[in-house]
């Protein structure tokens, strides 16, 4: 009997626990704080604002490039500008458009205005011949920034929407002039300019000064392919080859060109003369490292190149735009900031690098003042 009473009491205890658990409806029916509509709406609104801000930040800058005659692929001045643009494409969030003027270059301003009218952030004109066109377009499109490579516009300042990108070509040309004199076995070198204008005469002046620093008695041939207003001398390889052959025939064994696309003719001439004769003659390139861009069959005749870092000027200007520190005015690139220099590809000047570096340091230190005019 006692056992039955104990079992009955145990069952009553179990039923009491069950009843107690089922009797707490407040916990189950209590509203879920996470589902409160006001708080959810506030979170959604914040997310939408953040997404819009991210889209604005990722919108690419638009950069236009109007090349000079010869365009991308000239293996010289234009290609150096293209190299800077290509580097910027890899490093920055930009969209680009590249245009090239017609054969006579008469539509430079038309192309600049075409890109400017499409709202581009920055437009480059590659070459001094863009100066007048950029000066005119910059006034009509004040919200567009312009990079004028190698050209000069008067009265620019930091607030201008144009930056004039200039180079100390005479300093770099001094070094390749010294290299020419050091390598010449005939004590006879040559210079070929594309068009006889002030800018190209800076190359001539520096080259002559460098050669004469090594050998005051050195003989120097000087020729220009065309005279202004004829600017075909920058894009006539056949004529460049003809002029170069004349200088080699006159006794020069190292010839430097500042003639844009016409320089390809110099390389061919150096190859032809070397292969036909018992002695080797040399060509010196310009603007970019032309040993790297010239056809393989002429590489062995390219002693060095005067490097004019148009690529650096283009890249730095785009970087300034992207970082919000673009300034108008003037910027010159010289030996002190590696804006100009000489190439060592091929190893043909390895034996004279110490001497060239000594001349370079003297120029940087002001011990040698390189002339800008012949």
Q: Residue 56 is encoded by which pair of tokens?
A: 């604005």
Average pLDDT score over the chain? 87
Cβ(245)–Cβ(234) below 8 Å:
no
Q: What is the CATH number of domain 62-167+309-333?
A: 3.40.50.2300
pLDDT at 53 over 60: no
pLDDT band of residue 237 (cuts 50, 70, 90) is very high
pLDDT of residue 104: 75
Most confident range, picked from 25-34, 207-216, 269-278: 207-216
Most confident range, picked from 6-15, 33-42, 74-83, 188-197: 188-197
| Tokens 């002046």 -> residue | 205
**What does the pLDDT look like over 76-134, one tens digit per residue?**
789 889 999 999 999 999 999 999 998 877 899 999 999 999 999 999 999 999 999 99
pLDDT at 241 over 90: yes
Q: What is the DSSP string of 48-105?
A: HHHHHHHHHHHPPEEEEEE--TT-TTSSSHHHHHHHHHHHHHHHS-EEEEEE---TT-
pLDDT of residue 57: 60
Cis peptide before 229, with omega less than 30 degrees from 0? yes
User: What is the fold, at CATH topology level, of the domain defined by 169-308+344-364?
Assistant: Rossmann fold (3.40.50)
Cβ(62)–Cβ(95) below 8 Å:
yes
Give every CB contact of residue 373 below 8 A, 6+ residues apart in sequence. Answer: 198, 201, 202, 205
Q: Residue 47 is encoded by which pair of tokens?
A: 């997310």
Average pLDDT of 325-333?
96
pLDDT at 33 over 50: no
Beta bridge partners of 302: 283
Average pLDDT of 59-77?
90
Q: Residue 372 is encoded by which pair of tokens?
A: 């800008």
Q: What 8-state DSSP symbol labels residue 297?
A: G
Q: What is the C-alpha separation between 310 and 190, in angstroms, rounded? A: 25
Q: What are the boundaries of each domain within the chain?
A: 62-167+309-333, 169-308+344-364
pLDDT of residue 102: 86
Question: What's the predicted TM-score (pTM) here?
Answer: 0.76
Do 62-167+309-333 and 169-308+344-364 fold alike per CATH?
Answer: yes
pLDDT of residue 335: 96
**What does the pLDDT look like over 176-223, one tens digit per residue?**
999 999 999 999 999 999 999 999 999 999 999 999 999 999 999 999
Among 57, 61, 55, 58, smallest CA distance to 120 is for: 61
């Amino acid at each position: 009997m006692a056992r039955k009473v104990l079992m009955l009491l145990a069952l009553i205890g179990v039923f009491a626990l069950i009843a107690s658990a089922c009797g707490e409806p407040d916990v189950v029916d209590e509203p879920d704080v996470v589902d409160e509509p006001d708080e959810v709406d506030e979170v959604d609104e914040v997310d939408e604002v953040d997404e819009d801000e991210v889209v604005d930040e990722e919108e690419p800058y638009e950069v236009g490039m109007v090349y000079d005659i010869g365009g991308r692929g000239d293996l010289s001045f234009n290609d150096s500008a293209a190299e800077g643009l290509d580097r910027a494409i890899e490093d920055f969030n930009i969209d680009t458009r590249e245009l090239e003027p017609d054969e006579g270059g008469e539509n430079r301003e038309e192309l600049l205005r075409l890109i400017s009218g499409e709202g581009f952030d920055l437009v480059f004109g590659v070459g001094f011949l863009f100066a007048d066109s950029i000066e005119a377009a910059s006034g009509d499109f004040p919200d567009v920034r312009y990079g004028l490579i190698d050209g000069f516009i008067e009265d620019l300042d930091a607030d201008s929407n144009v930056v004039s990108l200039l180079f100390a070509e005479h300093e770099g040309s001094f070094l390749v002039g010294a290299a020419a004199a050091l390598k010449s076995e005939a004590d006879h070198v040559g210079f070929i300019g594309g068009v006889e204008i002030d800018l190209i005469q800076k190359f001539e002046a520096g080259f002559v000064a460098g050669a004469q620093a090594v050998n005051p008695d050195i003989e120097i041939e000087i020729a220009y392919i065309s005279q202004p207003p004829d600017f075909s001398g920058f894009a006539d390889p056949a004529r460049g080859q003809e002029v170069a052959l004349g200088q080699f025939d006159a006794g020069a064994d190292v010839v430097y060109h500042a003639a844009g696309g016409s320089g390809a003719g110099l390389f061919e001439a150096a190859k032809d003369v070397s292969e036909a004769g018992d002695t080797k003659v040399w060509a010196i390139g310009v603007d970019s490292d032309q040993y790297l861009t010239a056809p393989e069959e002429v590489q062995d005749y390219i002693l060095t190149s005067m490097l004019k870092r148009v690529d650096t000027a283009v890249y730095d200007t785009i970087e300034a735009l992207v970082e919000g520190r673009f300034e108008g005015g003037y910027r010159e690139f010289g030996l002190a900031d590696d804006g100009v220099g000489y190439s060592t590809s091929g190893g043909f000047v390895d034996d004279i690098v110490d001497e060239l570096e000594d001349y370079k340091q003297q120029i940087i230190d002001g011990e040698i003042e390189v002339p800008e005019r012949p």
